Amino acid sequence: MEVKKVAVIGGGTMGNGIAHVFAMNSIPVNLIETKQEFADRALSTIEKNLNRMVKKEKITDGEKVSTLDSIEVFLDVEEGVKDVDLVIEAVPENYDIKKSVFEKIDKAAPGHAILASNTSSISITKLAAITSRPEKCIGMHFFNPVPVMKLVEVVRGLETDDETYEATEAAAKLLAKVPVPVNDSPGFVSNRVLMPMINEAIFCVGEGVATPEHVDEVMKLGMAHPMGPLRLADFIGLDVCLDILKVLYDGFKDPKYRPAPLLVQMVDAGKLGNKTGEGFYSYD
Ligand SMILES: NC(=O)c1ccc[n+]([C@@H]2O[C@H](COP(=O)([O-])OP(=O)(O)OC[C@H]3O[C@@H](n4cnc5c(N)ncnc54)[C@H](O)[C@@H]3O)[C@@H](O)[C@H]2O)c1
């Protein structure tokens, strides 16, 4: 099955980036939001990012205009998914919100359509079980910022069939992304490997082994990481890191995933990283 039109549900950090890359690759996008002001914010972010690409001469002004023209906004999920081949859900990381979205899209999307989630940690198998087409459900895990990052983890749920996997993989390649197949498991591969490293870095700070700056310097200079784990944790959001560690801890029942006490304290204190202006570092 060839993906000729997509719907992206949620135009936040990830959703606007996903809409951007599909539209830029000549695939029309129905962008679905809950309010016009959120949709406007998503469109203005996409336009700002396209302007930056024009300035760097990565795309022409004409390509910018045709990309924006390929995105149509909907404030009604049922309306927005009824003529697409692939739906990508990018609403907040909350099972109840995703459940209500999956119920709606399963009813309203065409029978052949693939239902994908950009979830970072919720089980694809569990989301698929909400629908009447678990074999057509899959994880399409993009990375932030979507227009820049090459990786898409393509997550197979228990019942995902080969046709769905292959069509999703082909769609990712069409975006010039690199799809990597993984099976459904807490944190998939990306967060299962990344979050324990971030957590251990936070233990080092909490136990007075080194300052955040020094932990990051060790990982940048010694391990050639472009960004240290604590700077990255601030960028991701410390609340998001804590939520993902809880998913790993609950999913595996293994104490190696227990969140560092300092991480819990910082989240309790509202120091969530870049988005609140303070985390392991201060931001203007
Ligand atoms: N932020 C990241 O770095 C990152 C990376 C990979 C995956 N993810 C995953 O992507 C998903 C989205 O994360 P985000 O950071 O973009 O969140 P976000 O909060 O920035 O955006 C979510 C958007 O969904 C909209 N929304 C909420 N309910 C809706 C509904 N019923 N219908 C339509 N729109 C609705 C909100 O208005 C908001 O604009 C989550 O599952 C998250 O785990 C996030």
Do 153 and 257 belong to one domain?
no
C-alpha dist (Å) from residue 84 to 60, 113, 262: 28, 7, 45
Ligand 1 centroid – CA 133 distance (Å):
23
Does the active-site annotation cover 191?
A: yes
CB-neighbour burial class of residue 225 (10 A; exposed 0-12, middle 13-18, buried 19+): middle
Do 92 and 128 belong to one domain?
yes
Q: What is the pLDDT of residue 284?
A: 81
Asked if residue 119 has its Cβ within 6 Å of ligand 1, the reply is yes
For residue 31, tell me if it sits in a domain. yes
80-132 pLDDT, tens digit per residue, is 999 999 999 999 988 999 999 999 999 999 999 999 999 998 999 999 999 99
For residue 283, tell me if it sits in a domain. no
8-56 pLDDT, tens digit per residue, is 999 998 999 999 999 999 999 999 999 999 999 999 999 999 999 999 9
Distance CA 196, CA 189 (A): 12
Do 138 and 221 belong to one domain?
no
For residue 282, tell me if it sits in a domain. no
Determine which residue's CA is closest to atom 35 belonging to ligand 1. 10
Domain count, the chain: 2
Look at residues 167, 183, 199 and tell me which one is the last residue of a structural domain.
Answer: 183
Considering the candidates 120, 121, 123, 199, report the single residue annotated as catalytic. Answer: 120
Q: Which of 170, 134, 83, 70 is nearest to 117 (CA)?
A: 134
Look at residues 149, 183, 217 and tell me which one is the last residue of a structural domain.
Answer: 183
CATH of the domain at 143: 3.40.50.720
Do 26 and 164 belong to one domain?
yes
Asked if residue 16 has its Cβ within 6 Å of ligand 1, the reply is no
Segments forming the whole domain that contains residue 265: 191-275
Q: What is the pLDDT of residue 1?
A: 87
